[in-house]
Amino acid sequence: MDILISGASVAGPALAYWLHRAGHQVTLVERAPAMRDSGYAVDFRGDAFDVLEQMGVLAEVRAHDTGMRGIDLVDAEGVKTGELPAEAFAGELEVPKRDLTAILHRLTAGDVRYVFGDSIRTLAQDETGVHVTFERGEPGTFDLVVGADGVYSTVRRLAFGPHREFVRHLGMSGVGFTTDNYLGLDHRGVLHSAPGRAVYLFSAADADRMTVSLSFATESSELDLLDRGRQEEIVRAGLSDAGWEVPRLLKEMTAAQDFLFSSACQVEMDRWYAGRVVLVGDAGYCAAPTSGMGTSQALIGAHTLARRLAESGGDHTAAFSAYEQRVRPYVAANQQHGREAAKMFGAG
């Protein structure tokens, strides 16, 4: 089959790998001009390790382990009040996201077609396939289209409905960026959490840099769609009375090259497929960063979808249904955990 995947981060390239191995022709369209250079780290738990192993990249991924040793809990004056083990945030293995996506891209780049700097504009499906137009490229017809394009999935919007129907806000938003490691953190994190806000700082892979995460209570995930200037104002307002390192960190935020604003939200859908269109990863079932399961879900979802397609003998409806039945209980448990953990990060 000729299959189009929208989104080249984790779920998209992982799915492309399995589909190519099963003999399909795969095109990946990614809106960013190149693989994204995200500043934060992602972790893996459970069956995701088997998927990485079967893809032949587990050792390579392990080589990027951030090697976190633990997290100090501090009060508003920076005085230590307790400690958390590294696994609390880092799972069984944690790597910078940019390293994971670079590995997945390298693994697939020779076998599937990557189109960067473009996006699907329209989708129309009939019994012959899905007719797709793009923002920039030439139109095409595909047997299947997969949305692996994250929480604000364009494929989901076009094939299922507007974001507000599916994106559930968990009551907090945050900004992430890196700055000089002026606290001298060495494979350690520091967490200051108070009602309605949390500040988490860590340094691992690059000893000179410190990753900053500032989160606070908010009422809508739509803030993610605002421009950076407006988002910075919202962060400053949300943390205006916070002490400790926050005033300095707010100044560093303005200078940051890798500013990323995102809200803790989940994607909840009754059905992950519509005709020849199917969703995988955050696009269909984001569990929120607070679950620590998004990357594992993306890998397991991609693997399961490709496997069910291979077993279905070309019946994509049966394959999509079997994929959803298999992955949905796992997602439900992760989403439950994501909601509970959001409270610890200051969700209102």
Ligand X SMILES: Cc1cc2nc3c(=O)[nH]c(=O)nc-3n(C[C@H](O)[C@H](O)[C@H](O)COP(=O)(O)OP(=O)(O)OC[C@H]3O[C@@H](n4cnc5c(N)ncnc54)[C@H](O)[C@@H]3O)c2cc1C
Residues in contact with ligand X by the rule CB under 6 A: 6-12, 29-32, 36, 40, 42-43, 97, 119, 148-150, 154, 176, 262, 281-283, 289, 292-296, 298
- CA-nearest of 22, 36, 30, 52 to 113 is 30
Question: Which residue, 93 or 185, is less far from ligand X as judged by CB?
Answer: 93
Supply the minimum distance, in Å, between the C-beta of residue 141 and ligand X: 18
Question: Which residue, 173 or 318, is less far from ligand X as judged by CB?
Answer: 173
Supply the minimum distance, in Å, between the C-beta of residue 102 and ligand X: 12
Cα(275)–Cα(261) distance, integer angstroms? 33
**Residue with the CB atom nearest ligand X in the bound state:** 294
| Structure token digits, residue 221 | 């995930």
Supply the minimum distance, in Å, between the C-beta of residue 31 and ligand X: 4
Cα(221)–Cα(167) distance, integer angstroms? 8
Question: Which residue, 92 or 315, is less far from ligand X as judged by CB?
Answer: 92
Decide: 16 and 106 in contact? Cβ < 8 Å.
Answer: no
| Structure token digits, residue 60 | 């390579």
Supply the minimum distance, in Å, between the C-beta of residue 77 and ligand X: 26
Count CB neighbours of 25 within 10 A.
Answer: 15
Supply the minimum distance, in Å, between the C-beta of residue 344 and ligand X: 14
Question: Which residue, 43 or 245, is less far from ligand X as judged by CB?
Answer: 43
CB neighbour burial string for 279-298, b if at least 16 within 10 angstroms, e if fewer: bbbbbbbbbbbbbbbbbbbb
Question: Which residue, 245 or 282, is less far from ligand X as judged by CB?
Answer: 282
Helix (H) or strand (E) holding 158: helix 154-159
